[in-house]
Structure formats: C-alpha cells, structure tokens
Structure 1
Amino acid sequence: MVVRFKSPKPRKREDSENYFECIDEKNERQRLGSLEDKASVELSIVVPAYNEEERLPVLLNDVLAYVQRRREKEKGFSFELIVMDDGSRDKTSEVALEFARKHNMCELKVVRHTINRGKGGAVTQGVLSAMGRRILFCDADGATRFSDIDALLGKTTQTSIAIGSRNNQALGETVVERSHIRAFLQWGFHTYVTILGVRGVRDTQCGFKLFGRQAARQIFPNMHVERFIFDIEILLLARYQGIPVTEVPVNWHEVAGSKMSIVRDSIQMALDLLAVRLNYLLGNWKINAEPRQHK
C-alpha cells in the first residue's frame, strides 16, 4: 500500500525549463548544459530556491566573498552558480539577477520552474545541468558558512562525495546552533533512518553536499524523489554503487523562514522514506550504473 501510493513520480521538464537567464552580452535565455558533457568549469553551485527573495542575498554575498578570496589565490578559478527558482511566487529570480547585475556576476544563472517540484527535484534538475568538475548543492538560506566548502573539496575526488554534517562538532571547531525541538526531531529521524538500513552517516539532511562529476553522473540520473527525503535516496544510491561518502563538520545556524513544517513534513518524510526503501528492496526501481543523457 505504501509503495503503491507513496512512490515519487518525477515529472518531465517543460521546454522552458531547459533554458537559463543570466546577464551576459546576449541578454537572452540560453540552453542549459548537461551533466554528461565534459566539465567546463571547476565548480558548479546549485541552489534550490522557493520564495527566497529575503534570504537568498545572504547566501549570494557569502558565495561572492568566497569566490573573490579564491581568485586572489587562484587566478584561473572558474565556477557557475545555478539558482533553481522552483516555481516561486515572489521575486526570487529577480533578486538573483539584480545581484548578478550589481556585481557583474555573469556566472550566475537562473532557471525558472513552471511548477514547484520540491527541493529534491530542484537540486536534481540543477545537478543534471551542471558543468563543474565538482558540484555542490547548498540551501538558499545561507545557514551553512559557505567557506566551509574548502573542507569538503579536500575530501572529494571525481568518484566520491563529501557531505556537510551538523553532528560532527567533536571532530573540529565547528559551531551548530539549532532549537531544542529541531534537535530532538533530528535525533528521532536519524534513529528511524538507521532502522531502515541507512547506516554510517550521522547527518543525512544537511543541505551542503559536494560531488565529484563522475559520482554525480552515477547518482542523479537515477533519482526519483523530489521532496525533502531526496538526501536519503542520494545516500542509498551511493551505498548501492559503492561510492565513498565522507562526512565533514560544518558551521551551521538555524535561519528563520523555513518552508518546512516540522511536524507535518516529518511524518511525510517518514512515509516517503519507507516507500523509497521498499522500492529498492523489491526491485521496483532499477539502478543504471552507466551515465546516461537526461531529457
């Protein structure tokens, strides 16, 4: 019953979702690249954003500061920043493009979804279009200090994954600030995840994950989940295919304005996770280990 009614069914891209907007001299929509193409930049940064006009600038400023410092040390450093506007009803896209104009950031691309997919769907579609040798997705709220990416970069190869963790403070001088209720629910969810067989990862849900390009090619064309539980499917696919995953402590603080309902979405995530686990155990979902083109 759970498998039948709760199995995610990702929708196909609309034609308009194959294009991005930026501020280069063409000043027109341009076609997105593909994960199956050869990398053309060092780093892709994918940011899922739904009604984030107020919180997004914090992250954009953080990214800009990081890039400027990086280029002082490494003149040829190249990147792209893909803001996946997931059907926002506010001015998320306009805020991103205005930031790009203000700071002459031609590397910032905005993709507009016609209908909200969910965070997982926005991340997946962004990664499938990424052109970086390494690909990071991070939350739009700027809860994680962006410069912590350097620690993740030091732990990844083209065939591995490094994930930010809010539960590894003992491993480094990181700072994690969260409410007691959020901490309790995270503990309960972690216990549930462990029972369902996703072991060895302390923090599955931190929105700060870095992929080598080959690892991303093995995972994201196989993704089904478009809502909050997508992080678990990523880790399951990595486990099934023997892709190394390293947890790295990051600095994180809770930011007001979350789109997640703690109680309702926690129940939804629990049901979705059970459906995902059963689909793989029963063989309903097959894993294509060979990289493939996306539509």
Structure 2
Amino acid sequence: MQPVGAEKFCLRTQASWTVSAGTTGRIGRGKGRLALSNGRGIAERMHSQLRRCSVEQPELSVVLPAYNERHRIGRFLESVRLYLKEHYPDRHEVIVVDDGSTDGMAEVVEGMAAGWPALRLLRHDTNRGKGAAVRTGVLAARGIRILFADADGAAPIDQEARLSEAIRQGADIAVGSRLLPSGRQEVARQTIRGLFGRLFAALARRLLRLPVRDTQCGFKMFRAGVARNIFAELRETGYLFDLEVLGLSVRRGYKIVEVPIRWADVPGGHFRPLRQLPRILLELLRLWGRLRRVE
C-alpha cells in the first residue's frame, strides 16, 4: 500500500513530510498518511517505499536532526551541498528532520530544497527529542552508508571521509571522536559542557561496557542495514540515544571503530547539563537495566 501522494514524493524528493507522534509511527503529507507498526516494521516498510522511489541507491545519506536552527542551518547546508556536489555528485541525499521547530527553520530548508533535489525535509509535529529525530531520518534514508551529524556544523562535513574509510575497511559503525589524541578541536568546548561531557562519557562507558571514549559526539556513520536494525529497536528519544545505539550495537555483535575528527564547539545549543543532570543520571540507570536484559 502506498501513502497518498507517494507518486509526487517520488518525483520531487524535496517535498516536506510530517511525522506525527503516537503509539504508531505515521508518515504522510497533507491529508494522506500511512500508519505503520512500531519497531522493525517501520524500518522495513519505510525503506521499501523509499527504495521504489529511485532507480539508483545513493552512496551516502546525510541525516541532520534540527530544532530551532533557523539562523545556523542555512550556512551549514550550503557547505554540505558544495562538498557533496564535488565528492558524491548524483550519489547522495540529505534529510533534515525538523523536530517541532517554532522559529521558521522549515522555510529555510524548503527554500534551499527548491534548487537541490537531493535535499528533503521531514517534520515532527511536536518536539520529541534528538534521538527521535535521528531515528526518523535514519529509517527514511536510502543510502549505502548513513551519516548523522549535528545541524550546527560542529563537525565539518568533510570529516565524513574519515568515517567512510573506516566503513570501507570493515567497520559496521564509525564513531567520530573529539577525545582521541589525533583528533583536533578548532574551538575549545565551554568549560562546564566540556567537563560534563568527559565525565559522563567515562561513566557511561564503564557502566554500559562501551568500546569508545566519545560516546556523545554527534557525528556517526553506519552501514545501511546495521542502521536500520539498530534504530528500529531504539527507545531513547533524548540525550541518551547515542548510548542506546552503541549499547545495542555491542550486544548485537557489530564492529564499532572510533575515528578522530576535526570539531569546533558552537555556542547556542539547547543542552543545559547542570539543569538536566539528575534526570540524565536516572535515565542512564534505566538504560543500563534495559540493556542488561538484551544480553
């Protein structure tokens, strides 16, 4: 069964789709919506529908979760467009997932999509969290390799080459790292955020037995099949989604490689570590208990 408007979507990949929250996943445009069952069924049916929309599978899908990034996303998208045009001409797609923004960000993306057929916009009708936004984008992606990156451009898009090489060398998942000795921070992190990030990563790594130092870096790449399997199981929607992705990947036996990248702290983010610390620690303990049952 095809959702209403699917033919138009296949011909115009820049179309804006809305994903609604609820007990079932919903994807649709205008009045036409298709209710999908949760979990792996979403991945399989969404990917099957999108695969029929294109004769040639993209080599690289770039997923950009974004919330109220109107004043920054245009500049980063332009750098992404120029890079992909040079290195992946006609072999890429970019998916921006608007996580319920209220600042008019969607209009910026739609304006750029008018002249960039490989760019499309998916929209959450409410703010559901970064993890939910990444999941929506990953399950909609059609590429052979799937990269998700922060929409503020903290990691330059050209760093994907390092992750792509790790995938070509046999990794199932390549994790960008700001903490490895050969990585480079062009602009240092804010003191509180930087300290919190390092301490939290160390705690999470020990508690969840993860093989990477920088668990929270928003620059990760997957083989497509691995990404769909992992994100179909994902339950975390907020800050801890990276940990669940890595924890599930370890327990499913996937090969994870940590790769040093260039990175710069970009001010103006929405995360407030001290204010959210008690809730994050409680959620970490819950995730630990849930992953123990997966083993």
Q: How does 1:211-226 map to 2 (within 5 A)?
A: 211-226=222-237
Counterpart position of 2:140: 129
Counterpart position of 1:291: none
Counterpart position of 1:206: 217
Task: Give 1:46's match in structure 2, choosing from 63, 69, 80.
Answer: 63
The answer to whether the Cα contact below 8 Å between 1:134 and 1:210 also exists between their aligned partners in 2 is: yes
**For each residue in 1:17-61, what CA deviation from the matched residue of structure 2 results, as whole angstroms up to 9, or x when unmatched?**
3459xxxxxxx9999972357582111111111111011112201
Measure the CA separation in 2 of the matches of 1:56 and 1:184: 27
Measure the CA separation in 2 of the matches of 1:105 and 1:36: 23
The amino acid across from 2:77 in the alignment is L
Gaps spanning 5+ residues in structure 2: where?
Answer: 1-20, 35-42
Counterpart position of 1:163: 175
Task: Give 2:96's match in structure 1, choosing from 63, 83, 99.
Answer: 83
Name the structure with the higher strand share.
2
The amino acid across from 1:95 in the alignment is V
Name the structure with the higher helix share.
2
Query: Measured at CA, do residues 36 and 273 of structure 1 come closer, stay the same or move farther in structure 2, by a change above 3 Å?
Result: farther
Measure the CA separation in 2 of the matches of 1:159 and 1:214: 13
Measure the CA separation in 1 of the matches of 2:280 and 2:57: 36
The answer to whether the Cα contact below 8 Å between 2:171 and 2:256 also exists between their aligned partners in 1 is: no
C-alpha displacement at 1:178, in angstroms? 1.0
SS at match of 1:202: coil
After the TM superposition, which of the residue ranges 32-41 and 79-88 deviates more from structure 2? 32-41
Counterpart position of 1:276: 287
Measure the CA separation in 2 of the matches of 1:264 and 1:131: 38
1:34 equivalent to 2:34? Answer: no
1:94 equivalent to 2:142? Answer: no
The answer to whether the Cα contact below 8 Å between 2:97 and 2:122 also exists between their aligned partners in 1 is: yes
Measure the CA separation in 1 of the matches of 2:227 and 2:29: 21
Counterpart position of 1:114: 125
Gaps spanning 5+ residues in structure 1: where?
Answer: 1-9, 21-27, 288-295
The amino acid across from 2:124 in the alignment is H
SS at match of 1:187: helix
Measure the CA separation in 1 of the matches of 2:187 and 2:261: 8
Counterpart position of 1:61: 78
SS at match of 1:115: coil
Measure the CA separation in 2 of the matches of 1:280 and 1:11: 24
The answer to whether the Cα contact below 8 Å between 1:40 and 1:133 also exists between their aligned partners in 2 is: yes
Over 3 Å off, 4+ runs: 10-15, 17-20, 28-33, 35-39, 172-176
Query: Measured at CA, do residues 201 and 14 of structure 1 come closer, stay the same or move farther in structure 2, by a change above 3 Å?
Result: closer
C-alpha displacement at 1:97, in angstroms? 1.0
The amino acid across from 2:247 in the alignment is L
**For each residue in 1:50-97, what CA deviation from the matched residue of structure 2 results, as whole angstroms up to 9, or x when unmatched?**
1110111122012012112215xxx5x411111101111111110111
The answer to whether the Cα contact below 8 Å between 1:161 and 1:211 also exists between their aligned partners in 2 is: yes
The amino acid across from 1:162 in the alignment is A
SS at match of 2:47: coil
Residues paired across the two proteins, number: 260
The answer to whether the Cα contact below 8 Å between 2:230 and 2:245 also exists between their aligned partners in 1 is: yes
SS at match of 1:196: helix
Measure the CA separation in 2 of the matches of 1:244 and 1:35: 23
Measure the CA separation in 2 of the matches of 1:154 and 1:266: 36
SS at match of 1:35: helix
**TM-score under structure 1 normalisation?**
0.80
CA RMSD of aligned residues (A): 2.6
C-alpha displacement at 1:171, in angstroms? 2.5
Measure the CA separation in 1 of the matches of 2:137 and 2:183: 31
